Amino acid sequence: MAYTHLTTKELTWIENYYEIIEKAYIVAKKLRRSAQTIYNVYHYLDDGRTIINYYERYKANKSKCVTKFNHSSYSVEISNLN
């Protein structure tokens, strides 16, 4: 299962729901995300930090995430798939 990073739009929604004191598990259902993902953002905001700080840290960590698979060494002929 591939991991999809949170988008800035999703982070904005999470922040808005946090500010109106919406339960994290309800936000998770609305955004179709794991409840733990939403709880992680909520706990970050609970510590007095901002969503901008979260996104900057998130971007820095995301840039360290590299694919271990070498795509150039993998090729498939589409005609063989039929």
Residue 79, pLDDT score: 47
- pLDDT of residue 69 exceeding 70: no
The tokens 């800035």 sit on which residue?
8
Q: How confident is the model at residue 3 (pLDDT cuts 50, 70, 90)?
A: low
- Measured between alpha carbons, how far is residue 4 from residues 7, 17, 34, 67, 70 in Å? 9, 21, 11, 13, 20
Q: Average pLDDT of 64-76?
A: 56
Q: Report the number of secondary-structure helices (H) and strands (E) in the chain.
A: 4, 0
Q: What is the mean pLDDT of the chain?
A: 82
- pLDDT of residue 28 exceeding 50: yes
Q: Sign of the CA dihedral 59, 64, 69, 70?
A: positive
